[in-house]
Amino acid sequence: MTTSHDQLRFQPDWRFLFSHPAHFLSFGFGAGLFPRSPGTAGTLVAFPMYWYLAPRLTDAMFILVLIWTFAFGVWICDKTGKALGVADYGGIVWDEIVAFLLVLFFTPPDLAWQALAFLLFRFFDIVKPQPIRHFDQTWHGGLGVMFDDILAAGYALLCLAMLKSFL
- The confidence band for 146, taking pLDDT boundaries of 50, 70 and 90, is very high
Choose among 97, 99, 105: nearest CA to 55.
105
- pLDDT band with cut points at 50, 70 and 90 for residue 3: very low
Whether 13 shows a pLDDT value over 50: the answer reads yes
Cα 76 to Cα 54, 111, 113, 125, 145: the distances in Å are: 24, 31, 30, 20, 10
pLDDT of residue 167: 84
Q: Mapping DSSP to helix (H, G, I), strand (E, B) and coil, where does residue 4 land?
A: coil
The rounded distance, in Å, linking the Cα atoms of 3 and 97 is: 23
CB 29 within 8 A of CB 98: no
Mean pLDDT of all residues belonging to the chain: 95
pLDDT digits (tens, 9 = 90+) for 85-107: 999 999 999 999 999 999 999 99
DSSP 36: S
Tens digits of residue pLDDT in 34-78? 999 999 999 999 999 999 999 999 999 999 999 999 999 999 999
| Rounded Cα–Cα distance for residues 120 and 158 (Å) | 10
Terminus-to-terminus CA distance in the chain, angstroms? 37
